[in-house]
Amino acid sequence: MEIKNVRVYGLKESIVRSGYPTRIGELSIFEYDEDGICGVNLTKHGERAYRLAKTPIGSGHDNFLKGIIVQFDLQYPEYFSPQLQRYNWIDIISSQSKMHKITSRKLTKEDFTEYTHEDAINNINSLISIYQSADELKINKEVCFNQIISNLPSGYLKWMGISTNYLQLKTIYSQRKNHKLQEWRYFCNWIETLPQSELITNLA
């Protein structure tokens, strides 16, 4: 697994907005520099935000974490995707498609996790080779394609672009940081590298 192109949006603004429930009649005005960076001083807001972020998941007091948006590219094995998609605020922006590209070339060990057996890779390459020659061999291409999809090892690696937020990452971190799958442990270790990650990881 690998994560690249990480961007975080709305961090300072959401920390300030965590105080809106105790205010009336006034609105925070955010100023930005030429690079689009919010210049608000978090000194008087940070303590409140960390206190609210530590409240139990589902309490609603940590709802401001929804406003801290994270976008990134994730390389993942096929078996990881169904678990990730269980979460409501994991939005897949786009992903590489085996439907479009799985038959375009011979696959190599680099296309799979290190635990994928070489025999399984050789088997899928044999099916791809048959598919590519299906017209010449007068074989039903749809049958060939379904055989490829049905026998593709779940360790096959692809990239997807994801949009999520700190509130969802808080739930993921609490549930998966000690998971038996190394991919989840890697993912949670990555969460710890995000800006102000204590808002996610400093659980009550």
Q: Which pLDDT tens digit goes with each residue over 130-185?
A: 999 988 888 899 999 999 999 999 999 999 999 999 999 999 999 999 999 999 99
Q: What Å distances lie between residue 159 and 35, 77, 104, 140, CA to CA?
A: 29, 9, 17, 30
Three-state SS across the chain?
CEEEEEEEECHHHHHHHCCHHHCCCCCCCCCECCCCCECCCCHHHHHHHHHHHCCCCCCCCCHHHHHCEEEEEEEEECCCHHHHCCCCCCEEEEECCHHHHCCCCCCCHHHECCCCCHHHHHHHHHHHHHHHCHHHHCCCHHHHHHHHHHHCCCCEEEEEEEEEEHHHHHHHHHHHCCCCCHHHHHHHHHHCCCCCCHHHHCCC
**Residue 73: per-residue pLDDT:** 98
- Res 204 pLDDT > 60: no
* Pairwise pLDDT comparison (126 vs 40), residue with the higher score: 126
- Residue pair 48/19 in contact (Cβ under 8 Å)? The answer is yes
pLDDT digits (tens, 9 = 90+) for 102-138: 999 999 999 999 999 999 999 999 999 999 998 888 8
**What are the structural domains, with CATH classification, of the chain?**
2-93+158-201 (3.30.1360), 103-151 (no CATH)
- Res 35 pLDDT > 70: no
pTM of the model: 0.89
Give the integer Cα–Cα distance in Å for 33 and 44.
21
- Res 56 pLDDT > 90: no
Give the integer Cα–Cα distance in Å for 180 and 101.
31
- Residue pair 9/69 in contact (Cβ under 8 Å)? The answer is yes
**Residue 37: per-residue pLDDT:** 64
Dig out the tokens for 203 from the structure.
């659980």
As a whole number, the mean pLDDT across the chain is 91
Task: Give every CB contact of residue 120 below 8 A, 6+ residues apart in sequence.
Answer: 153
